[in-house]
Amino acid sequence: MTWLHAETVAFLERSHQARIEFRRRHPFYHEDDFEFLRRMVKPDSRVLVVGGCVEFISRPLTCQALYVLDFDPLEHRTAAAHIHPIATLAEAFQDGPIDVIFLPYTLQLLEDIQNFLQDLHQGVTPQTRIVIIQYNFLWAPLIRLTQKFALKTPAADLNWLNRQDVINMLELTGFQAITAGMRCLVPFRLLGLGPWLNTYAGSLPGISWLSQKSYVIARSVSTPTHGSPGQSVSVLIPARNEAGNIRPLLNRLPVLGTRCEVIFVEGHSQDKTWEEILRQIKEHERRDLFEFKTMQQTQKGKADAVRLGFSQATGDILIILDADISVQPEDLVHFYAALNDNTAEFLNGSRLVYKMERDAMQILNLFFNKLFAVILSWLIGQRVKDTLCGTKAISRKNYERIRLQHQTLGALDPFGDFELLLGASCLNLKIRDVPVRYKQRVYGSTNISRFKNGWELLTVVWRAWSEMKR
Protein backbone atom coordinates (compact mmCIF):
# COMPACT_ATOMS: atom_id res chain seq x y z
CA MET A 1 0.00 0.00 0.00
CA THR A 2 2.16 2.83 -1.31
CA TRP A 3 -0.42 5.42 -0.16
CA LEU A 4 -0.14 4.43 3.53
CA HIS A 5 2.66 5.44 5.90
CA ALA A 6 4.43 2.60 7.73
CA GLU A 7 4.07 4.45 11.04
CA THR A 8 0.28 4.44 10.64
CA VAL A 9 0.22 0.66 10.16
CA ALA A 10 2.44 0.24 13.20
CA PHE A 11 0.14 2.41 15.31
CA LEU A 12 -2.95 0.47 14.25
CA GLU A 13 -1.28 -2.78 15.20
CA ARG A 14 -0.05 -1.37 18.53
CA SER A 15 -3.44 0.05 19.52
CA HIS A 16 -5.53 -2.85 18.20
CA GLN A 17 -6.78 -4.20 21.51
CA ALA A 18 -7.53 -0.77 22.96
CA ARG A 19 -9.66 0.13 19.93
CA ILE A 20 -11.57 -3.16 20.06
CA GLU A 21 -12.36 -2.64 23.73
CA PHE A 22 -13.43 0.97 23.25
CA ARG A 23 -15.78 0.06 20.40
CA ARG A 24 -17.30 -2.64 22.57
CA ARG A 25 -18.03 -0.19 25.41
CA HIS A 26 -19.14 2.71 23.19
CA PRO A 27 -20.91 1.23 20.13
CA PHE A 28 -23.21 4.15 19.24
CA TYR A 29 -20.58 6.21 17.40
CA HIS A 30 -19.70 3.40 15.00
CA GLU A 31 -23.30 2.22 14.68
CA ASP A 32 -24.01 5.66 13.21
CA ASP A 33 -21.42 4.95 10.49
CA PHE A 34 -22.99 1.58 9.79
CA GLU A 35 -26.50 3.06 9.50
CA PHE A 36 -25.20 5.71 7.10
CA LEU A 37 -23.70 3.04 4.85
CA ARG A 38 -26.54 0.54 5.18
CA ARG A 39 -29.06 2.87 3.54
CA MET A 40 -26.96 2.98 0.36
CA VAL A 41 -26.35 -0.74 0.02
CA LYS A 42 -28.79 -3.10 -1.69
CA PRO A 43 -28.86 -6.91 -1.41
CA ASP A 44 -27.29 -7.27 -4.88
CA SER A 45 -24.53 -4.70 -4.26
CA ARG A 46 -20.82 -5.43 -4.37
CA VAL A 47 -19.22 -3.34 -1.59
CA LEU A 48 -15.63 -2.44 -0.76
CA VAL A 49 -14.71 -1.01 2.66
CA VAL A 50 -11.19 0.40 3.04
CA GLY A 51 -9.53 1.74 6.18
CA GLY A 52 -8.92 1.09 9.86
CA CYS A 53 -11.47 -0.35 12.29
CA VAL A 54 -13.79 -1.50 9.52
CA GLU A 55 -14.77 -4.92 10.85
CA PHE A 56 -17.24 -3.52 13.37
CA ILE A 57 -19.34 -1.64 10.81
CA SER A 58 -19.04 -4.17 7.99
CA ARG A 59 -20.05 -7.36 9.81
CA PRO A 60 -23.85 -6.99 9.71
CA LEU A 61 -24.06 -5.44 6.22
CA THR A 62 -26.47 -7.21 3.84
CA CYS A 63 -25.09 -7.31 0.31
CA GLN A 64 -24.00 -9.71 -2.41
CA ALA A 65 -20.28 -9.43 -1.67
CA LEU A 66 -18.29 -7.38 0.83
CA TYR A 67 -14.54 -6.82 0.35
CA VAL A 68 -12.66 -5.55 3.41
CA LEU A 69 -9.23 -3.98 2.99
CA ASP A 70 -8.22 -3.28 6.58
CA PHE A 71 -5.17 -1.17 7.40
CA ASP A 72 -4.97 -2.94 10.77
CA PRO A 73 -3.10 -6.25 10.22
CA LEU A 74 -4.58 -7.72 13.44
CA GLU A 75 -8.23 -6.84 12.81
CA HIS A 76 -10.52 -9.84 13.30
CA ARG A 77 -12.17 -11.27 10.19
CA THR A 78 -15.69 -12.64 10.36
CA ALA A 79 -16.33 -16.00 8.72
CA ALA A 80 -19.52 -14.88 6.91
CA ALA A 81 -19.52 -16.32 3.40
CA HIS A 82 -20.09 -13.04 1.56
CA ILE A 83 -17.23 -11.19 3.33
CA HIS A 84 -13.84 -11.31 1.64
CA PRO A 85 -10.78 -9.97 3.52
CA ILE A 86 -8.30 -8.67 0.94
CA ALA A 87 -4.75 -7.33 0.96
CA THR A 88 -4.89 -5.21 -2.24
CA LEU A 89 -7.50 -3.30 -4.21
CA ALA A 90 -6.90 -5.55 -7.21
CA GLU A 91 -8.38 -8.51 -5.32
CA ALA A 92 -11.70 -6.68 -5.01
CA PHE A 93 -11.71 -5.53 -8.62
CA GLN A 94 -10.79 -8.82 -10.29
CA ASP A 95 -14.42 -9.99 -10.40
CA GLY A 96 -15.76 -6.74 -11.89
CA PRO A 97 -16.71 -3.21 -10.84
CA ILE A 98 -17.73 -2.34 -7.29
CA ASP A 99 -21.11 -0.71 -6.60
CA VAL A 100 -20.25 1.10 -3.33
CA ILE A 101 -16.82 2.00 -1.94
CA PHE A 102 -16.94 3.10 1.71
CA LEU A 103 -13.99 5.05 3.13
CA PRO A 104 -14.60 5.55 6.88
CA TYR A 105 -11.95 8.04 8.09
CA THR A 106 -9.67 6.51 5.47
CA LEU A 107 -8.40 9.66 3.77
CA GLN A 108 -7.35 11.01 7.15
CA LEU A 109 -4.90 8.12 7.52
CA LEU A 110 -3.26 8.24 4.10
CA GLU A 111 0.13 9.69 3.21
CA ASP A 112 -0.79 9.99 -0.49
CA ILE A 113 -4.50 10.58 -0.95
CA GLN A 114 -4.37 11.36 -4.67
CA ASN A 115 -2.47 8.16 -5.47
CA PHE A 116 -5.05 6.17 -3.52
CA LEU A 117 -7.99 7.81 -5.32
CA GLN A 118 -6.36 7.21 -8.69
CA ASP A 119 -6.00 3.53 -7.81
CA LEU A 120 -9.75 3.29 -7.19
CA HIS A 121 -10.43 3.88 -10.88
CA GLN A 122 -9.35 0.29 -11.58
CA GLY A 123 -12.67 -1.02 -10.32
CA VAL A 124 -15.31 1.70 -10.66
CA THR A 125 -17.86 2.81 -13.23
CA PRO A 126 -19.91 6.04 -13.34
CA GLN A 127 -22.56 4.10 -11.41
CA THR A 128 -20.21 3.35 -8.50
CA ARG A 129 -20.70 5.51 -5.42
CA ILE A 130 -17.66 6.57 -3.37
CA VAL A 131 -18.77 7.29 0.22
CA ILE A 132 -16.24 9.26 2.28
CA ILE A 133 -16.74 9.99 5.96
CA GLN A 134 -14.28 11.73 8.26
CA TYR A 135 -14.00 13.76 11.44
CA ASN A 136 -15.10 17.37 11.26
CA PHE A 137 -11.82 19.33 11.25
CA LEU A 138 -13.36 21.85 13.69
CA TRP A 139 -13.34 19.07 16.31
CA ALA A 140 -9.61 18.39 15.98
CA PRO A 141 -8.52 19.95 19.32
CA LEU A 142 -11.29 18.26 21.30
CA ILE A 143 -10.74 14.88 19.63
CA ARG A 144 -7.03 15.02 20.46
CA LEU A 145 -7.91 15.85 24.06
CA THR A 146 -10.47 13.04 24.44
CA GLN A 147 -8.01 10.54 22.96
CA LYS A 148 -5.35 11.67 25.41
CA PHE A 149 -7.65 10.86 28.33
CA ALA A 150 -8.92 7.61 26.76
CA LEU A 151 -12.42 9.04 26.19
CA LYS A 152 -12.34 8.17 22.51
CA THR A 153 -11.11 5.38 20.26
CA PRO A 154 -7.31 5.69 19.80
CA ALA A 155 -6.34 6.92 16.35
CA ALA A 156 -3.16 7.57 14.43
CA ASP A 157 -2.05 11.10 13.53
CA LEU A 158 -4.63 12.36 11.08
CA ASN A 159 -4.88 14.54 8.01
CA TRP A 160 -7.42 17.18 9.05
CA LEU A 161 -9.31 17.87 5.84
CA ASN A 162 -12.38 20.04 5.42
CA ARG A 163 -15.04 19.08 2.90
CA GLN A 164 -13.72 21.42 0.24
CA ASP A 165 -10.29 19.79 0.57
CA VAL A 166 -11.89 16.42 -0.11
CA ILE A 167 -13.94 17.71 -3.05
CA ASN A 168 -10.82 19.28 -4.56
CA MET A 169 -8.90 16.00 -4.22
CA LEU A 170 -11.75 14.17 -5.91
CA GLU A 171 -11.88 16.59 -8.83
CA LEU A 172 -8.10 16.36 -9.28
CA THR A 173 -8.34 12.57 -9.60
CA GLY A 174 -11.28 12.17 -11.98
CA PHE A 175 -14.22 12.07 -9.55
CA GLN A 176 -17.26 14.31 -9.19
CA ALA A 177 -18.83 15.16 -5.84
CA ILE A 178 -22.57 14.44 -5.78
CA THR A 179 -23.47 15.65 -2.31
CA ALA A 180 -21.77 16.57 0.95
CA GLY A 181 -22.92 17.26 4.49
CA MET A 182 -22.49 16.81 8.22
CA ARG A 183 -23.82 14.20 10.64
CA CYS A 184 -23.67 12.98 14.26
CA LEU A 185 -24.21 16.09 16.37
CA VAL A 186 -24.41 13.94 19.51
CA PRO A 187 -22.10 10.88 19.70
CA PHE A 188 -24.03 9.28 22.60
CA ARG A 189 -27.48 7.74 23.02
CA LEU A 190 -28.43 10.12 25.86
CA LEU A 191 -31.29 7.86 27.00
CA GLY A 192 -32.65 7.69 23.47
CA LEU A 193 -32.40 11.42 22.72
CA GLY A 194 -29.16 11.10 20.72
CA PRO A 195 -30.70 9.64 17.54
CA TRP A 196 -33.55 12.17 17.64
CA LEU A 197 -31.18 15.12 18.05
CA ASN A 198 -28.96 13.85 15.23
CA THR A 199 -31.93 13.47 12.86
CA TYR A 200 -33.64 16.80 13.46
CA ALA A 201 -31.48 19.33 15.34
CA GLY A 202 -28.24 18.03 13.80
CA SER A 203 -29.50 18.54 10.25
CA LEU A 204 -30.51 22.19 10.66
CA PRO A 205 -28.42 24.83 8.85
CA GLY A 206 -25.88 26.39 11.18
CA ILE A 207 -26.23 23.72 13.84
CA SER A 208 -25.07 20.98 11.46
CA TRP A 209 -21.59 22.54 11.32
CA LEU A 210 -21.12 21.50 14.95
CA SER A 211 -21.52 17.82 14.06
CA GLN A 212 -18.58 15.51 14.62
CA LYS A 213 -18.49 14.00 11.15
CA SER A 214 -18.53 15.28 7.59
CA TYR A 215 -19.21 13.23 4.47
CA VAL A 216 -18.89 13.45 0.70
CA ILE A 217 -20.52 11.10 -1.82
CA ALA A 218 -18.92 11.03 -5.27
CA ARG A 219 -18.82 9.18 -8.60
CA SER A 220 -16.21 8.63 -11.29
CA VAL A 221 -16.19 10.87 -14.36
CA SER A 222 -12.65 10.09 -15.47
CA THR A 223 -13.65 8.63 -18.84
CA PRO A 224 -15.12 11.33 -21.11
CA THR A 225 -18.39 10.20 -22.69
CA HIS A 226 -18.98 13.12 -25.07
CA GLY A 227 -19.85 11.79 -28.49
CA SER A 228 -20.95 8.48 -26.99
CA PRO A 229 -23.40 6.33 -28.99
CA GLY A 230 -26.94 7.68 -28.90
CA GLN A 231 -29.72 6.28 -26.76
CA SER A 232 -33.44 5.90 -27.32
CA VAL A 233 -35.80 8.41 -25.71
CA SER A 234 -39.32 8.38 -24.32
CA VAL A 235 -40.98 11.82 -24.00
CA LEU A 236 -43.94 11.71 -21.63
CA ILE A 237 -46.60 14.40 -22.16
CA PRO A 238 -49.32 14.59 -19.46
CA ALA A 239 -52.32 16.43 -20.91
CA ARG A 240 -55.48 17.67 -19.20
CA ASN A 241 -57.65 20.27 -20.92
CA GLU A 242 -54.91 20.97 -23.49
CA ALA A 243 -56.74 20.38 -26.80
CA GLY A 244 -55.48 23.63 -28.32
CA ASN A 245 -51.83 22.82 -27.52
CA ILE A 246 -51.43 19.35 -29.04
CA ARG A 247 -50.79 20.37 -32.65
CA PRO A 248 -48.42 23.29 -31.83
CA LEU A 249 -46.47 20.97 -29.51
CA LEU A 250 -45.98 18.33 -32.22
CA ASN A 251 -44.94 21.07 -34.64
CA ARG A 252 -42.03 21.97 -32.36
CA LEU A 253 -41.09 18.75 -30.58
CA PRO A 254 -37.48 17.77 -31.45
CA VAL A 255 -36.65 14.26 -32.60
CA LEU A 256 -34.28 12.92 -29.94
CA GLY A 257 -31.91 9.97 -29.80
CA THR A 258 -31.78 6.87 -31.92
CA ARG A 259 -35.53 6.33 -31.47
CA CYS A 260 -38.02 8.87 -30.13
CA GLU A 261 -41.13 7.56 -28.41
CA VAL A 262 -43.89 10.05 -27.50
CA ILE A 263 -46.34 9.01 -24.78
CA PHE A 264 -49.52 11.03 -24.27
CA VAL A 265 -51.34 10.49 -20.98
CA GLU A 266 -54.75 12.20 -20.91
CA GLY A 267 -56.31 12.93 -17.53
CA HIS A 268 -60.11 13.45 -17.39
CA SER A 269 -60.18 16.50 -19.66
CA GLN A 270 -63.36 18.55 -20.02
CA ASP A 271 -62.47 19.69 -23.54
CA LYS A 272 -61.61 17.47 -26.53
CA THR A 273 -57.99 16.79 -25.54
CA TRP A 274 -58.26 13.00 -26.01
CA GLU A 275 -59.91 13.30 -29.42
CA GLU A 276 -57.30 15.87 -30.51
CA ILE A 277 -54.43 13.63 -29.46
CA LEU A 278 -55.80 10.74 -31.51
CA ARG A 279 -56.48 12.99 -34.51
CA GLN A 280 -52.99 14.53 -34.52
CA ILE A 281 -51.30 11.13 -34.23
CA LYS A 282 -53.24 10.05 -37.31
CA GLU A 283 -52.99 13.21 -39.41
CA HIS A 284 -50.00 15.32 -38.29
CA GLU A 285 -47.36 15.83 -41.00
CA ARG A 286 -44.52 14.87 -38.60
CA ARG A 287 -46.23 11.72 -37.28
CA ASP A 288 -43.73 9.38 -39.00
CA LEU A 289 -40.82 10.87 -37.02
CA PHE A 290 -42.09 9.48 -33.70
CA GLU A 291 -43.40 6.30 -32.16
CA PHE A 292 -46.65 7.10 -30.32
CA LYS A 293 -48.37 5.60 -27.31
CA THR A 294 -51.61 6.92 -25.83
CA MET A 295 -53.41 6.17 -22.59
CA GLN A 296 -56.04 7.63 -20.29
CA GLN A 297 -55.83 7.88 -16.52
CA THR A 298 -58.24 6.04 -14.28
CA GLN A 299 -56.91 7.97 -11.29
CA LYS A 300 -56.15 11.70 -10.99
CA GLY A 301 -53.13 13.97 -10.79
CA LYS A 302 -49.92 14.56 -12.71
CA ALA A 303 -47.93 12.21 -10.47
CA ASP A 304 -50.23 9.34 -11.45
CA ALA A 305 -49.92 10.34 -15.12
CA VAL A 306 -46.11 10.22 -14.88
CA ARG A 307 -46.13 6.79 -13.24
CA LEU A 308 -48.64 5.44 -15.77
CA GLY A 309 -46.74 6.75 -18.77
CA PHE A 310 -43.31 5.69 -17.57
CA SER A 311 -44.60 2.20 -16.76
CA GLN A 312 -45.15 1.78 -20.51
CA ALA A 313 -42.04 3.62 -21.70
CA THR A 314 -39.36 1.71 -23.61
CA GLY A 315 -36.72 4.43 -24.14
CA ASP A 316 -33.33 4.43 -22.42
CA ILE A 317 -33.91 8.05 -21.38
CA LEU A 318 -37.20 9.33 -19.92
CA ILE A 319 -38.19 13.00 -20.26
CA ILE A 320 -41.32 14.78 -18.97
CA LEU A 321 -42.76 17.71 -20.94
CA ASP A 322 -46.02 19.38 -19.92
CA ALA A 323 -48.53 19.78 -22.75
CA ASP A 324 -49.11 23.51 -22.08
CA ILE A 325 -45.93 24.44 -24.03
CA SER A 326 -44.96 26.99 -21.38
CA VAL A 327 -41.56 25.27 -21.34
CA GLN A 328 -40.26 25.44 -24.89
CA PRO A 329 -40.12 21.94 -26.49
CA GLU A 330 -36.91 22.84 -28.32
CA ASP A 331 -35.08 22.90 -24.96
CA LEU A 332 -35.40 19.11 -24.61
CA VAL A 333 -32.25 18.69 -26.71
CA HIS A 334 -30.21 19.94 -23.73
CA PHE A 335 -31.73 17.32 -21.42
CA TYR A 336 -30.92 14.53 -23.85
CA ALA A 337 -27.34 15.71 -24.42
CA ALA A 338 -26.55 15.94 -20.69
CA LEU A 339 -27.83 12.43 -19.92
CA ASN A 340 -26.30 10.87 -23.02
CA ASP A 341 -22.90 12.40 -22.18
CA ASN A 342 -23.14 11.41 -18.48
CA THR A 343 -22.83 15.05 -17.40
CA ALA A 344 -25.42 14.22 -14.73
CA GLU A 345 -27.83 11.43 -13.82
CA PHE A 346 -30.98 13.43 -13.06
CA LEU A 347 -31.85 16.67 -14.85
CA ASN A 348 -34.19 19.22 -13.34
CA GLY A 349 -35.57 22.04 -15.48
CA SER A 350 -35.12 25.57 -14.13
CA ARG A 351 -37.43 28.36 -15.27
CA LEU A 352 -35.66 30.92 -13.09
CA VAL A 353 -32.55 31.57 -15.20
CA TYR A 354 -33.79 33.11 -18.46
CA LYS A 355 -36.04 36.15 -18.47
CA MET A 356 -39.66 35.09 -18.02
CA GLU A 357 -42.57 36.44 -20.01
CA ARG A 358 -44.86 38.73 -18.02
CA ASP A 359 -47.58 36.73 -16.21
CA ALA A 360 -45.94 33.40 -17.07
CA MET A 361 -45.67 32.68 -13.32
CA GLN A 362 -47.79 34.44 -10.71
CA ILE A 363 -45.94 36.15 -7.88
CA LEU A 364 -47.29 33.77 -5.20
CA ASN A 365 -46.20 30.74 -7.25
CA LEU A 366 -42.76 32.30 -7.69
CA PHE A 367 -42.42 32.86 -3.93
CA PHE A 368 -43.35 29.29 -2.98
CA ASN A 369 -41.21 27.88 -5.77
CA LYS A 370 -38.13 29.67 -4.43
CA LEU A 371 -39.01 28.64 -0.87
CA PHE A 372 -39.29 24.97 -1.83
CA ALA A 373 -36.03 25.25 -3.79
CA VAL A 374 -34.18 26.39 -0.66
CA ILE A 375 -35.73 23.63 1.46
CA LEU A 376 -35.16 20.85 -1.09
CA SER A 377 -31.57 21.96 -1.79
CA TRP A 378 -30.80 21.69 1.92
CA LEU A 379 -32.66 18.40 2.24
CA ILE A 380 -30.96 16.59 -0.66
CA GLY A 381 -27.54 18.25 -0.32
CA GLN A 382 -27.49 19.35 -3.97
CA ARG A 383 -28.47 22.72 -5.40
CA VAL A 384 -31.75 22.93 -7.30
CA LYS A 385 -33.17 26.30 -8.30
CA ASP A 386 -36.68 25.37 -9.46
CA THR A 387 -38.13 22.26 -7.83
CA LEU A 388 -41.59 22.52 -9.42
CA CYS A 389 -40.61 22.80 -13.07
CA GLY A 390 -42.47 19.98 -14.79
CA THR A 391 -39.64 19.20 -17.21
CA LYS A 392 -37.30 16.54 -15.84
CA ALA A 393 -35.17 13.73 -17.28
CA ILE A 394 -33.71 10.49 -15.95
CA SER A 395 -32.57 7.15 -17.32
CA ARG A 396 -35.25 4.45 -17.32
CA LYS A 397 -32.99 2.21 -15.25
CA ASN A 398 -32.65 4.80 -12.49
CA TYR A 399 -36.35 5.66 -12.60
CA GLU A 400 -37.22 2.03 -12.01
CA ARG A 401 -34.89 2.01 -9.00
CA ILE A 402 -36.72 5.02 -7.56
CA ARG A 403 -40.12 3.39 -8.00
CA LEU A 404 -38.88 0.15 -6.48
CA GLN A 405 -37.34 1.69 -3.39
CA HIS A 406 -39.13 4.96 -2.63
CA GLN A 407 -42.87 4.58 -3.12
CA THR A 408 -43.87 6.03 0.27
CA LEU A 409 -43.04 9.63 -0.64
CA GLY A 410 -44.54 9.19 -4.10
CA ALA A 411 -47.94 8.39 -2.64
CA LEU A 412 -48.01 11.86 -1.00
CA ASP A 413 -46.76 13.94 -3.96
CA PRO A 414 -49.51 15.42 -6.20
CA PHE A 415 -47.16 16.32 -9.08
CA GLY A 416 -44.35 13.76 -8.92
CA ASP A 417 -41.61 16.44 -8.88
CA PHE A 418 -40.59 15.87 -5.27
CA GLU A 419 -40.89 12.10 -5.61
CA LEU A 420 -38.34 12.18 -8.43
CA LEU A 421 -35.98 14.71 -6.80
CA LEU A 422 -36.03 13.02 -3.41
CA GLY A 423 -35.78 9.56 -4.96
CA ALA A 424 -32.79 10.63 -7.06
CA SER A 425 -31.15 12.02 -3.93
CA CYS A 426 -31.77 8.82 -1.95
CA LEU A 427 -30.01 6.91 -4.75
CA ASN A 428 -27.15 9.46 -4.67
CA LEU A 429 -27.65 10.40 -8.31
CA LYS A 430 -25.88 13.50 -9.59
CA ILE A 431 -28.55 16.18 -10.05
CA ARG A 432 -28.12 19.21 -12.30
CA ASP A 433 -30.39 22.10 -13.28
CA VAL A 434 -31.01 22.68 -16.98
CA PRO A 435 -32.19 26.25 -17.75
CA VAL A 436 -35.38 26.34 -19.82
CA ARG A 437 -37.24 29.21 -21.46
CA TYR A 438 -40.61 29.75 -19.81
CA LYS A 439 -43.45 31.45 -21.68
CA GLN A 440 -46.99 32.44 -20.85
CA ARG A 441 -49.64 29.80 -21.51
CA VAL A 442 -51.50 30.46 -24.79
CA TYR A 443 -54.38 28.00 -24.43
CA GLY A 444 -56.30 26.89 -21.33
CA SER A 445 -55.61 27.55 -17.65
CA THR A 446 -53.43 26.04 -14.93
CA ASN A 447 -54.42 22.72 -13.31
CA ILE A 448 -52.69 23.62 -10.02
CA SER A 449 -54.55 24.30 -6.77
CA ARG A 450 -51.96 26.51 -5.05
CA PHE A 451 -52.91 26.17 -1.40
CA LYS A 452 -54.16 22.56 -1.44
CA ASN A 453 -51.19 21.30 -3.44
CA GLY A 454 -48.80 23.49 -1.45
CA TRP A 455 -49.91 21.84 1.78
CA GLU A 456 -49.45 18.40 0.22
CA LEU A 457 -45.90 19.33 -0.80
CA LEU A 458 -45.10 20.52 2.72
CA THR A 459 -46.27 17.12 3.99
CA VAL A 460 -43.86 15.42 1.57
CA VAL A 461 -40.99 17.63 2.78
CA TRP A 462 -41.66 16.85 6.46
CA ARG A 463 -41.83 13.12 5.78
CA ALA A 464 -38.63 13.25 3.74
CA TRP A 465 -36.80 15.18 6.47
CA SER A 466 -37.49 12.44 9.02
CA GLU A 467 -36.36 9.71 6.61
CA MET A 468 -33.36 11.29 4.86
CA LYS A 469 -31.57 13.04 7.73
CA ARG A 470 -31.24 9.98 9.98
Section 258-269 average pLDDT: 96
Residue 350 has pLDDT above 70, yes or no: yes
pLDDT at 414 over 70: no
The pTM for the full model equals 0.76
Mean pLDDT of 281-307: 94
Least trusted range by pLDDT, from 144-158, 240-254, 446-460: 446-460
Note the pLDDT of residue 357.
74
d(CA 181, CA 162): 11
CATH 3.40.50.620 is held by the domain 6-220? no
Rounded Cα–Cα distance for residues 254 and 262 (Å): 11
CATH topology match: 6-220 vs 233-468:
no
Q: Using 50, 70 and 90 to split pLDDT, how confident is the model at 81? A: low
The residue among 109 and 465 whose pLDDT is bigger is 109
Q: Binning pLDDT at 50, 70 and 90, where does residue 129 land?
A: very high
Given 3.40.50.10490, 3.90.550.10, 3.40.47.10, 1.20.1300.10, which CATH number is that of 233-468?
A: 3.90.550.10
Quote the pLDDT of residue 151.
Answer: 61
> Left if phi > 0, otherwise alpha if psi is -120 to 50, otherwise beta: which for 241?
left
Specify the higher pLDDT residue, 383 or 75. Answer: 383
Asked whether the predicted pLDDT for residue 79 surpasses 60, the reply is: no
Reported as a single tens digit per residue, the pLDDT across 192-250 is 888 888 888 888 888 888 898 999 999 998 654 444 678 999 999 999 999 999 999 99
E strand or H helix at 134: strand 129-135
Q: Is 166 helix (H, G, I), strand (E, B) or coil?
A: helix
Report how many helices (DSSP H) and strands (DSSP E) the chain contains, helices first. Answer: 18, 14
Distance CA 469, CA 202 (A): 9
The predicted model gives 360-373 an average pLDDT of 78
Q: What is the pLDDT of residue 397?
A: 95
Spatial contact of 310 and 398, defined as CB atoms under 8 Å apart: no
pLDDT: is 252 or 79 the higher one? Answer: 252
For residues 87, 93, 98, 100, the Cα torsion angle rounded to the nearest 10 degrees is: 20
What pLDDT score does 409 carry? 56
- Strand boundaries in 396-467, DSSP class E: 431-435
> What integer is the mean pLDDT of 289-293?
97
Instruction: Note the pLDDT of residue 156.
Output: 65
For residue 345, what pLDDT is reported? Answer: 94
Structure-model confidence comparison of residues 10 and 317, the more confident one:
317
Q: How far apart are the first and last CA of the chain?
A: 34
- Please list the residues that pair with 4 across neighbouring strands: 110
Min mean pLDDT across 202-206, 348-352, 442-446 is at 442-446
What pLDDT, on a 0 to 100 scale, did the predictor assign at position 172?
A: 77
pLDDT digits (tens, 9 = 90+) for 148-159: 766 666 666 677
pLDDT digits (tens, 9 = 90+) for 305-339: 999 999 999 999 999 999 999 999 999 999 999 89
Among left, alpha and beta (phi > 0; psi -120 to 50; other), residue 230 is beta
264 within 8 A of 293, measured Cβ to Cβ: yes
Say which residue, 83 or 247, is predicted with more confidence.
247
Domain ranges of the chain: 6-220, 233-468
